[in-house]
Structure 1
Amino acid sequence: MADLTRWTLNRHIAASLLTITAAMAMTPEAKAADETCFKTPTPIMSLGFGSRYEADSKTRSAIDEDSDAAVTKALKPIDQFIQNLAKVVSKAQKEKDVATRRAYQRCVVDSIYSWAKADALNEMRTFNAKLSVPSRVGGLAIVYAEARDQVPGLHDRERIIEKWLQKRAQETVQFFETEATKGAARNNLRAWASMAVGEVGVLNRDRGLVEWSILSNYTMIANAAPDGSLPLEMNRQRHALHYQLHAMTPLVTSIARLCEAGYGKGGADLAKLMTMARFSVAAVKDPGIVQKINGKSQTVKPGLKNNLSSIAWLEPYVSLTNDLEMTNEFSSLRPLSNSKLGGNQTALYEGRRISCTITAQN
């Protein structure tokens, strides 16, 4: 019995020593990454779901509650993944210690790499899945861009990520050019696709993808009404203002990031973009402005404070336009954040001026 007790004790001691040795053997970067990261979810390979809206809703404004819940459930793992990545990006932005900041940035790269090497999101089985995935690809591309080239030794992983994003972006272009309905090809869904494709184009220096994004942005702005409203979104009855904001979010962000990358105005008539931004903010403060257009009371609660995520695009907007009047509208509400735009937009853009001078050579 004594021998058995000694054997058991020695085994526990040996196991403890192995654990201690392994911990000591970890590089500072690996140890910091382990302490600062989250558990990467299993890559989502395939999606297939129907519409959020009732089948007979021609304006896609009457929500089917059961279908809406099913869509939200299917997309939740991806959206949670992007939210977690955006939180890590925001932590990295605030971190002054270089090792810890790099650990956060490595977390982002390693997590997205696990999805890239699995070729995640490679099977969109339904029309509505194909409509929904571009905004998620855009969110992943933006958080990746914020961590890219920041940590030595990750270039092999980064190349795999960029190749994966390239495939998803090319599929997005193919879908919107050949399968998307006339409405989807011109409304907020096109704006989200444009942001994703443009971001991936910048990452890969793919001028074809960038040009598709620029043309998409140009078309969105050209189709806006003189007052700054988007006619296709105004047709969405009680959800019109919601979708106006849902379109402005990627549209403004895409233009700002394309300008910052050196591709000129990114398809933007900046004067008209300012009209669209001011209309959107005025309507959030008083949704009755939209009700006068389409005759329907709006689901959006009045007031900027009630819609912080939906107006986070104002940060890249003022960096792009230097619209001081608009800055005064929301400065007291900072920080503004939206996970699909890379997290804390105030940290990314406050105090910065983005030039729309053409500098990109590719």
Structure 2
Amino acid sequence: MRPWIAALAFCTPLPAIAACDVVPDPVISLSFDSRYAADDPSRSEIDIEAEAAAKEALADLDDFITYLTTRTDAAVGAGDRDAANCVMAALATWARADALSDLGSQTAQLTIGSRLAALALVAAQVAPAAPVGDTSVVSAWLGRRMDSQMTFWETASDGAASGNLRAWAALAGAATSLLTQDPVTLGWAGWSLGYVACTASQDGSLPQEMQRKQLALHYQVHAVTPMVVAAALLEQQGVPVMNRCGRALDRIVDFTLKDLAAGGVASAAYAGAPQTLDAGVEGLKDFQLAWAESWLSLRANPELEALVAPRRPLRYSKLGGNQTRLWNAR
């Protein structure tokens, strides 16, 4: 397995860039309600107005993450130390403002994990080129945000605590640990990943996601994404997770790929509804398969390799950008 962080290298390009971009204003407070209908316990019926409000609330943060990952891909891909410094400087601006320190709703707390994961994965990529001062400020900031997440998840409802959002928080912890080297955060990330993975049925379906009616397979895929990348990062940091609960992760990935190929038949049987992903693997967007690169670093899978090869490079901003570059040295 290739340790991608250690493999990054930078040189000083000619000509060097003149100055960094102006950084978007830091988002300090974030508060929005669930995008799902309040009277729908399956969380499969979208409330159109609530979804629009959530997207608006997250727009500045998500735009910042897209900005960072785009520039990180360019900087690291070219070995451009100056451009990498600018990425860390942008993160440091948000860190010094203590961005995301005021999460004013439970939904914001539940969903911030994927954004923290993206920020930490970006920071870890550019850290080898960045000034120690900026890196230290960013590491401390992300450490504080993860401390808040760990506290929050201790009292989350059973359903949320075993679903895809907990998996994203586990990825955030695994990614933040690359910077902070904090054993508590690293251990919590491993424990949280196991907490979700060990709920898997014998066939690899995730019960919490199979309750989501027509969205069951969609959310199985959404859970697999952070689980696989977190597993790869944890294994690299000396936390073995692949054999837990009867090799649960292998079963989860196997179920996901088989059911995608079958057009969601198994998920439909669990959920009692035809699946929105009934077009199967071919209906997936490239970013929905970005996790494959980290999985292939853990497990040989000729079928998965053949599936993703024509789609490369696979990118996903919430995973820190170009996964093909990060995991495969292509």
Do the structures match in fold with TM over 0.5? yes
Q: 2:78 aligned with 1:117, yes or no?
A: no
**Cα deviation 1:195-218 (Å, max 9, x = unaligned):** 112221232111111111111111
CA distance in 2, matches of 1:30, 1:121: 36
Query: What is the aligned counterpart of 1:42 among 25, 28, 32?
Result: 25
What displacement does 1:320 show? 1.2
| Equivalent residue runs for 1:1-362 within 5 Å | 32=17, 34=19, 38-95=21-78, 98=79, 101-151=80-130, 154-178=131-155, 180-265=156-241, 268=244, 271-285=247-261, 286-300=263-277, 302-307=279-284, 308-350=286-328
Determine the structure 1 residue equivalent to 2:3: none
Residue identity in the other structure for 2:96: K
Residue identity in the other structure for 1:133: I
What displacement does 1:251 show? 0.7
CA distance in 1, matches of 2:147, 2:18: 32
Q: Which runs of 5+ in 2 are unaligned?
A: 1-11
Q: Residue 326 of structure 2: SS of its match in structure 1? A: helix
Residue identity in the other structure for 1:53: Y
Q: Using a 3 Å threshold, how does the CA distance of structure 1 residues 149 and 350 change in structure 2: closer, same or farther?
A: closer
**Cα deviation 1:260-315 (Å, max 9, x = unaligned):** 22333377568432221122122223123311222211122524343211111011
Q: Using a 3 Å threshold, how does the CA distance of structure 1 residues 76 and 270 change in structure 2: closer, same or farther?
A: farther
Q: Using a 3 Å threshold, how does the CA distance of structure 1 residues 30 and 174 change in structure 2: closer, same or farther?
A: farther
Q: Residue 121 of structure 1: SS of its match in structure 2? A: coil
| Matched pairs, number | 317
Residue identity in the other structure for 2:66: Q
CA distance in 2, matches of 1:175, 1:162: 20
Say if 1:93 and 1:347, in contact at 8 Å, map to a contact too: no
Q: Using a 3 Å threshold, how does the CA distance of structure 1 residues 114 and 105 change in structure 2: closer, same or farther?
A: same
Query: Could you tell me the percent identity over the aligned residues?
Result: 35
Q: Please list every run of at least 4 consecutive aligned residues from structure 1 whose deviation after the TM superposition is greater than 6 angstroms.
A: 27-30
Q: Residue 298 of structure 1: SS of its match in structure 2? A: coil
What displacement does 1:38 show? 4.3
CA distance in 1, matches of 2:250, 2:16: 47
Q: Residue 183 of structure 1: SS of its match in structure 2? A: helix
Say if 1:278 and 1:326, in contact at 8 Å, map to a contact too: no
Residue identity in the other structure for 2:144: K
Residue identity in the other structure for 1:138: A
CA distance in 2, matches of 1:226, 1:65: 36
Say if 2:171 and 2:227, in contact at 8 Å, map to a contact too: yes
Residue identity in the other structure for 2:264: P
Q: Which runs of 5+ in 1 are unaligned?
A: 1-26, 353-362
Q: TM-score, normalised by structure 2?
A: 0.90
Determine the structure 2 residue equivalent to 1:359: none
Q: TM-score, normalised by structure 1?
A: 0.82
Q: Residue 32 of structure 1: SS of its match in structure 2? A: coil
